[in-house]
Structure 1
Amino acid sequence: MIGKLDPEHLALVVSRTGASDEAVSVGPGYGEDAAAIEVGERTLVVSSDPLSLARERLGTLAVNVASNDVACSGADPRWLTNVVFLPDDDRETLDVVTRQIDEAATELDIAIVGGHSEYAPDLSRPMVTMTCMGLADEFVPTGGAEPGDRLILTKGAGIEGTAILATDFRAEVGPAAERGESFFEEISVAEDARHLREYAHAMHDPTEGGVVTGLLEMAEASGVRLEVARDDVPVRDATRDLCDTMGVDPLRIFGSGALLAAVPEGSVEEALDAVRGAGIPAAVVGRVVEGDGALALDDAEVTDPPRDELYALWE
């Protein structure tokens, strides 16, 4: 089976945290994609992510996915380590992946400071694991949403998934692939986060499982209920067309490129002006109410994270 552990098994993993350290203000937790470590008067934000399934832009996505988690936590991504596993002695793939990593990190002004690389013959495809770090003046958690907050989503649902559909499934989607491939240029949310972090009680990067899983993770981590109308969630025409062709839900496919923020009602217009003033589309998609970690999507109650619908296409 491909994909994240279910919440029950994930709880086992995050319960085992090794030695305690008073400098760690935020450690492992459901929905929290980054750790917060107090270093002097600032906070070191650290996040790790693996990637293996996006064949054509593996290195590009790996850098952006890891750095997005740091950005969503209120920090500017600054340092990166990368671990590259190759199934065989494929120098061409190594050259392509590492070139993509270098180009993406350079574009985001992130220094690659170390890592590891080796052959792993049991793998069927290359795998890249990134650890990104940055410094924040104030950590912004996933689990900070408060009743009364409004939910802002930047760009739209399924940005990353659209790019993957356009490349990994180019033959299946046909001419529509050309429109979707350009979405790779919008995977980073570093700028989105810089404009929203001063207003947000919570921010989150909806990745695997898309916007639906991202919303549910924020609800669970915050101990609140999120109410969202599907029609309020922006979905671009190219995303909708590719998803219709492949029979997947744009709200349930990889969602990197969008930033989800819980913002106090009185700050919503100012926050929207800030992010839109930078040329980044954004919309209010719902609200936060008292609750117990669930998502109300229209009339549907979502309490378990859905499996990302792209996985079935790879199997």
Structure 2
Amino acid sequence: MPGKVSPDDLLAHVFERTGAADETILQGPADGEDAAAIDWPDGDGTLVVSSDPISLAASQVGRLGVPVATNDVAVSGADPRWLTAVVLLPTGTDERTLEAIATDLDEAAREIGASIVGGHSEYVDQLERPLLSLTAMGSTDRFVPTGGAEPGDRVVLTKAAGIEGTAILAADFGGDLAVDPEIRERAEGFLAEISVAPEARVVREYATAMHDPTEGGVAAGLLEVARASNVRLEVDRDAVPVREETAALCEAAGVDPLCIFGSGALVATVPEDALEDCLADLENAGLEAAAIGTVRALEGGDPELVLDDEPITEPIEDDLYPLWEAADADD
């Protein structure tokens, strides 16, 4: 099954093998943490660094790649400023594909004010579709980790569940799904909303933890916050915003809106007494958000997401992977 390496395997084989010790590293590899934090040598703020690949979205891979990479920097409290891009293409790919990816990268980076400062590109015999990997960097005076949630905090979600997954469903599978063409067209437009940098700039003033839900959707992102923070998150499924387009496409595809790629939403925890101010500031900035749950202390057992009455402790697989596998099998 494709997807992320499991947290248990990372703990067993990766997190203890990170090269030389360096006292300037404030946050290194850890369960649920998607960005590193490094003290600037002169002590003036913190450098935040994150890397992300994208390969399974056949359409507009460059357009998706920039926000997918920079979101992890934004939710760490930094403004994304620099990017490097590695572009790997199947051997024989038409040069127009490279031009299209580079154009998408350029436009998406300009939209969030980031500069592409380097990278690499080549053709690879073993690839069947383009593979894009980006490293994003930014600086901040206050690093916000995934693992900072405290008991009593409220859980906030911006925009809605499944925004990235909805755009992928419409672009890669929409022609095969029984949905209104107008719904599909609107859903494809969700690609313009993948970045969470605007809401992160607002929420970082209040947040104890922030996280960018990606693979496995909002549900997986919530569980990652719980694991990183060693807490229990109690979330009301009905409180999680799901757009009409997402509901329609997910119903047609037979997938859960909370378990498809979730970039475009920001998961955050904020103190109870800061919740109203946080939501008001988001509304004043023209950004949708909702309180969807509460952070609780563990009373024994493992960190968990309690979605309605269902406790979830094991990593959540993304519902889109079986669709890609089925499509590949039909080719």
Residue number in structure 2 paired with 1:75:
78
Following the alignment from structure 2 to structure 1, what is the Cα–Cα distance between the partners of residues 67 and 15?
A: 24
Following the alignment from structure 2 to structure 1, what is the Cα–Cα distance between the partners of residues 47 and 81?
A: 10
Q: Which TM-score applies when normalising by structure 2?
A: 0.94
Alpha-carbon distance, 1:15 to partner: 2.1
Q: Which TM-score applies when normalising by structure 1?
A: 0.99
Residue number in structure 1 paired with 2:44:
41
Superposed, 1:18-167 pairs within 5 Å as: 18-39=19-40, 40-90=43-93, 91-167=95-171
Aligned partner (choices 275, 300, 303) of residue 313 of structure 2: 303
Residue number in structure 1 paired with 2:294:
287
Task: Single out whichever of 231-240 and 89-98 deviates more from structure 2.
Answer: 89-98
Task: Single out whichever of 89-98 and 229-238 deviates more from structure 2.
Answer: 89-98
Alignment deviations for residues 113-139 of structure 1 (CA, whole Å, 9 cap, x no partner) = 000111111011100000000001100
Residue number in structure 2 paired with 1:230:
237
Amino acid at match of 2:61: L
Following the alignment from structure 1 to structure 2, what is the Cα–Cα distance between the partners of residues 14 and 56?
A: 33
Amino acid at match of 1:192: E
Secondary structure in structure 2 of the residue aligned to 1:134? strand
Residues 1:8 and 2:17 are matched in the alignment: no
Secondary structure in structure 2 of the residue aligned to 1:2? coil
Secondary structure in structure 1 of the residue aligned to 2:147? coil
Following the alignment from structure 2 to structure 1, what is the Cα–Cα distance between the partners of residues 267 and 217?
A: 11
Following the alignment from structure 1 to structure 2, what is the Cα–Cα distance between the partners of residues 282 and 87?
A: 40
> Segments of 4+ in structure 1 off by > 6 A?
none
Following the alignment from structure 2 to structure 1, what is the Cα–Cα distance between the partners of residues 57 and 228?
A: 28
Following the alignment from structure 1 to structure 2, what is the Cα–Cα distance between the partners of residues 179 and 106?
A: 23
Following the alignment from structure 2 to structure 1, what is the Cα–Cα distance between the partners of residues 86 and 283?
A: 36
Q: Which runs of 5+ in 1 are unaligned?
A: none
Secondary structure in structure 2 of the residue aligned to 1:199? coil
Task: Single out whichever of 98-107 and 6-15 deviates more from structure 2.
Answer: 6-15
Alpha-carbon distance, 1:177 to partner: 1.5
Alignment deviations for residues 181-217 of structure 1 (CA, whole Å, 9 cap, x no partner) = 0100110000010000010000000000001100000
Residue number in structure 1 paired with 2:172:
168
Residues 1:267 and 2:277 are matched in the alignment: no
Residue number in structure 2 paired with 1:258:
265
Amino acid at match of 1:96: A
Alpha-carbon distance, 1:16 to partner: 1.1
The RMSD of aligned alpha carbons is 0.8
Amino acid at match of 1:114: G
Alpha-carbon distance, 1:103 to partner: 0.6
Following the alignment from structure 1 to structure 2, what is the Cα–Cα distance between the partners of residues 87 and 30?
A: 32
Aligned partner (choices 219, 227, 237) of residue 212 of structure 1: 219
Alignment deviations for residues 286-315 of structure 1 (CA, whole Å, 9 cap, x no partner) = 000001411100111100111100000000
Alpha-carbon distance, 1:275 to partner: 1.0
Task: Single out whichever of 238-247 and 6-15 deviates more from structure 2.
Answer: 6-15
Following the alignment from structure 2 to structure 1, what is the Cα–Cα distance between the partners of residues 25 and 92?
A: 40
Secondary structure in structure 1 of the residue aligned to 2:273? helix
Following the alignment from structure 1 to structure 2, what is the Cα–Cα distance between the partners of residues 172 and 307?
A: 23
Taking every aligned residue pair, what percent have the same amino acid on both sides? 60
Alpha-carbon distance, 1:41 to partner: 2.1
